[in-house]
């Protein structure tokens, strides 16, 4: 029996290409001398663009690979595009920042490629073992990237905290996989669903296993009460790492959540609804309320990221209803697009105001930005309005489609909670705007070409895509899971 065929390799060619490209860049960085180190960022961009093209070429393909361990479909292709777009923005915001803070190392971009390949595997995983391996492939490079500023104790502390808590959460996930295997005699998502539907699975072991898997995923996406690592890691890690981590970890975590829970555990939906509702409510409330007290912009965005995780998790509450599967997937993917675009733009602004030794990261450092740098302040205003869900921004469209999916599932109370917590978030987002425009100050900006372009493109895209939100939503709606 042929275990691996050429067809299998071609089916997941974008992911395989990215891994091979990262290995080649690693060798070039190690043995290519100064020229190789200078070329690494640009070759990283080239690799991402080639993988992007390979993903577009595979549009419309639906087939299994590696004896059913991986499932390539519209959903996995959409996750690939999100991951690769995250990589391109990640390089753009990191390139000149790393040089300015003497952190320019070729391994940074190589670690980024390996992490992105983990995200892409999570979108295609059709087996719980593959899900676990993909999460580790996503996470381990992030642990190293968080601690890449070796002479900065805050960076080392962030990497250590992220590693220890990540390993702890990985234990929950792996133990959950073991219990699910014990209950169903399989780790394949399709076979788990068949066993649960036929009633041959041990219900107690299955529920316990699913609960532990949910804990592992909740840590990865920074959902309460498994969010405690987020503010410290976001603050201590170099800002480009924080920006990349904020988006990549969410794309990967929610890709796995959508794939695993909709494909393998739809029959457990009624039993999980109270748990999911509690996690969503805690995440929304804790994220938004804790953000109010923050004066450090990185910690504020950390709690903001937690609250956005709560919003995306709202899509999982009605997942057990077949009628809303399509809208649930589409709303979650759309929100990830909106969050990713807005997030990279806002972090680019943060990097331009950040100075050595962690200075320039307090809200007071943004005072007078509207008067001295009106274009930069206008871009930050757009990002804050998008995070708060104010039209005409892509963030408003994301919250609209997601709340609509929740209402279609009949969860009116959850939708009301989402609206109320959005109003709370408007307080601390608009506080940034007030500081920029209505307080006197002398902000110092370290502009750069790539950061300027990133800020401009994301700000324009955040507004422009609002006016084509329905076609964009239709694209995300076409990314249907291949239900077995």
Note the pLDDT tens digit of each residue in 329-381: 788 889 999 999 999 999 999 999 887 656 778 888 899 888 988 999 999 99
At 202 the pLDDT is 79
At 1 the pLDDT is 44
Can you tell me whether residue 127 is helix, strand or coil?
Answer: strand
Where do runs of H (alpha helix) occur along 293-411? 297-313, 325-353, 369-372, 374-388, 394-408
At 362 the pLDDT is 87
Judge whether 352 and 376 are in contact, CB under 8 Å: yes
Q: What is the DSSP string of 19-36?
A: HHHHHHHHHHHHHSHHHH
Q: Name residues of the chain where pLDDT drops below 50.
A: 1, 323, 483-484
| Cα 306 to Cα 315: distance, rounded to the nearest angstrom | 15
Predicted confidence (pLDDT) per residue in 312-322, tens digit: 988 888 765 55
At 174 the pLDDT is 92
Q: What is the DSSP string of 387-435?
A: HHT-SSSHHHHHHHHHHHHHHHTT-HHHHHHHHHHHHHHHHHHHHHHHH
Within 10 Å of residue 32's Cβ, how many Cβ atoms?
15
At 480 the pLDDT is 65
Judge whether 237 and 245 are in contact, CB under 8 Å: yes
Domain spans in the chain, listed from the N-terminal domain onward: 13-477
> Residue written as tokens 């200075």?
359
At 323 the pLDDT is 44
At 276 the pLDDT is 86
Q: What are phi and psi of 201, to 5 degrees?
A: -80, 145
Judge whether 425 and 315 are in contact, CB under 8 Å: no
At 396 the pLDDT is 94
């Amino acid at each position: 029996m042929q275990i691996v065929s050429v067809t299998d390799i071609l089916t997941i060619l974008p992911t395989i290409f990215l891994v091979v490209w990262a290995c080649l860049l690693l060798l070039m960085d190690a043995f290519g001398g100064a020229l190789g180190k200078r070329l690494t960022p640009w070759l990283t961009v080239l690799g991402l663009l080639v993988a992007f093209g390979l993903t577009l070429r595979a549009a419309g393909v639906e087939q299994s690979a590696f004896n059913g361990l991986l499932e390539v479909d519209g959903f996995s292709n959409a996750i690939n595009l999100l991951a690769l777009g995250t990589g391109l923005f990640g390089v753009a915001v990191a390139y000149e920042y790393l040089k300015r803070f003497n952190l320019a190392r070729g391994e940074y971009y190589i670690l980024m490629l390996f992490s992105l390949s983990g995200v892409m595997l999570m979108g295609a995983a059709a087996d719980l073992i593959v899900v676990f391996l993909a999460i580790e492939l996503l996470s381990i490079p992030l642990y190293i990237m968080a601690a890449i500023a070796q002479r900065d104790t805050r960076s080392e502390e962030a990497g250590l905290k992220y590693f220890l808590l990540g390993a702890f959460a990985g234990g929950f996930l792996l133990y959950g996989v073991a219990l699910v295997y014990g209950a169903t005699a399989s780790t394949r998502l399709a076979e788990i669903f068949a066993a649960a539907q036929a009633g041959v699975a041990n219900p107690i072991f299955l529920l316990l296993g699913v609960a532990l898997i949910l804990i592992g995923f909740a840590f990865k996406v920074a959902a309460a009460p498994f969010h405690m690592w987020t503010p410290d890691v976001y603050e201590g890690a170099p800002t480009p790492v924080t920006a990349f981590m904020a988006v990549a970890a969410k794309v990967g975590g929610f890709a796995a959540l959508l794939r695993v829970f909709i494909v393998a555990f739809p029959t457990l939906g009624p039993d999980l609804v109270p748990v999911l509702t509690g996690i969503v409510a805690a995440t929304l409330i804790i994220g938004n309320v804790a953000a109010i007290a923050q004066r450090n912009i990185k910690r504020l965005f950390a709690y903001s990221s937690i609250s956005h995780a709560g919003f995306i998790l709202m899509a999982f509450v009605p997942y057990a209803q077949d009628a809303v599967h399509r809208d649930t997937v589409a709303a979650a993917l759309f929100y990830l697009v909106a969050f990713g675009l807005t997030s990279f733009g806002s972090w680019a602004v943060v990097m331009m105001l950040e100075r050595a030794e962690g200075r320039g990261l307090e809200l007071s450092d943004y005072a007078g930005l509207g008067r001295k740098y009106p274009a930069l302040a206008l871009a930050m205003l757009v990002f804050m309005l998008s995070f708060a869900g104010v039209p005409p921004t892509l963030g408003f469209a994301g919250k609209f489609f997601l709340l609509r999916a929740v209402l279609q599932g009949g969860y009116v109370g959850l939708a009301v909670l989402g609206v109320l917590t959005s109003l709370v978030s408007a307080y601390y987002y608009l506080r940034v705007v007030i500081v920029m425009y209505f307080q006197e100050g002398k902000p110092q900006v370290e502009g750069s070409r790539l950061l300027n372009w990133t800020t401009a493109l994301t700000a324009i895209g955040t507004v422009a895509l609002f006016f084509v939100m329905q076609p964009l939503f239709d694209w995300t709606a076409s990314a249907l899971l291949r239900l077995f």
